[in-house]
């Protein structure tokens, strides 16, 4: 079925496959937009990314990348309020693709009231209005995308902001990442037949199971992205976890509970520079494979950012192909829309 492009296109009503294919261009364009919006010479003690859902995952990837290239701590916050330590020494990156996410707006207003520096990232909406009213920089993204498909723009913009502000140098990693994404596209794009397409083959292997995606080090936020893409695109229950933490709790359930036979585990392998992590991954595979199917997806690329994004794109394709195997439109998210209607009605 996955090689029948007409059947796939009939389900993919908003062309998420096409949006995924344009991730390399989105990344570079987003970087340029971020550099243009960045103020000069920021002196900051910490970075806080405020956002939810597909808008926040770019912050997770940014913080994972920053941990290896900068001494400035970075955190992602997904609520109505921010911790007390976010204040005048903080740079707050308020991120909402629509610009109308109520939790993000609440965090942004709180940060501004505390005197934090701020840069807003959106395609418009109330967040853009707040930026204009409070005279703070705004990175304006193109509108019309499904928010989770704007990951290239989001991460590119955040990286560009920090590069333009002199906090990090990100151009080389962005260029490497775009090249790597092009290679993933040539392997996993919809025109590539199932027999030669690792993303299509993995979608077939996972069909009928509950995926649990395991990351370690830089692939931890990528595992979260895989699980959320299964949730939204394929309308599947899916979970993420991380190593080595999982070996201190979760592995007991996976080995001991017979229900685990209905799951499949995908381990996202990064560049294991620590031999202890390599040994731990192999031991985990050996133990868990006695109970369920276990698969691996290895990162490619020269830069840390490129390796992370290579796995992001593979996961996006696997989730889309899983949606088509289930006969669902990957762009729809009715439960989210219904919850927003409920919340709106309760406020009236």
**Which residues are designated catalytic?**
232, 248, 340
Q: Residue 42 corresponds to which tokens in the numbers above?
A: 């920021």
How far apart CA 53 and CA 145 sit, in angstroms, is 14
Q: How far is CA 310 from CA 38, 127, 307, in A?
A: 27, 30, 5
Q: Look up tokens 């392997």; give the residue.
A: 187
For residue 303, what are the CA distances in angstroms to 31, 91, 218, 308?
16, 25, 12, 9
The answer to whether 188 and 198 have CB atoms below 8 angstroms apart is yes
Residue 118, strand partner residues: 92
């Amino acid at each position: 079925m996955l090689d029948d492009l007409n059947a796939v296109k009939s389900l993919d009503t908003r062309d998420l496959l096409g949006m995924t294919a344009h991730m390399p261009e989105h990344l570079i364009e987003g970087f340029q937009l971020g550099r243009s919006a960045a103020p000069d010479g920021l002196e900051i003690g910490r970075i806080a990314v405020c956002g939810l859902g597909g808008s926040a995952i770019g912050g997770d990837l940014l913080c994972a990348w920053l941990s290896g290239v900068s001494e400035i701590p970075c955190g992602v916050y997904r609520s109505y309020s921010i911790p007390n330590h976010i204040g005048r020494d903080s740079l707050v990156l308020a991120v909402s693709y629509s610009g109308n996410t109520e939790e993000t707006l609440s965090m942004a207003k709180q940060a501004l009231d505390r005197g934090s520096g701020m840069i807003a990232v959106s395609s418009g909406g109330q967040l853009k209005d707040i930026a204009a009213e409070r005279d703070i920089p705004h990175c304006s993204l193109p509108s019309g995308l499904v928010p989770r498909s704007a990951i290239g723009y989001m991460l590119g913009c955040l990286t560009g902001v920090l590069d333009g502000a002199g906090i990090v140098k990100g151009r080389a990693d962005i260029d490497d990442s775009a090249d790597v994404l092009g290679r993933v596209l040539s392997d996993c794009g919809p025109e590539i037949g199932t027999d030669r397409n690792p993303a299509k083959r993995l979608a077939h292997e996972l069909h009928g199971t509950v995926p649990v995606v395991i990351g370690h080090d830089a692939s931890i936020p990528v595992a979260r992205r895989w699980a959320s893409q299964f949730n939204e695109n394929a309308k599947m229950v899916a979970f993420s976890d991380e190593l080595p933490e999982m070996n201190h709790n979760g592995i007991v359930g996976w080995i001991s509970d017979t229900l685990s036979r209905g799951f499949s585990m995908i381990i996202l392998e990064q560049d294991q520079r620590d031999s202890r992590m390599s040994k731990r991954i192999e031991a985990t595979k050996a133990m868990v494979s006695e109970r369920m199917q276990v698969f691996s997806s290895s990162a490619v690329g020269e830069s840390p950012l490129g390796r992370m994004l290579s796995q992001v794109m593979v996961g996006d394709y696997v989730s889309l192909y899983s949606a088509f195997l289930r006969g669902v439109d990957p762009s729809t998210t009715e439960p989210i829309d219904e919850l927003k209607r409920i919340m709106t009605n309760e406020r009236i």
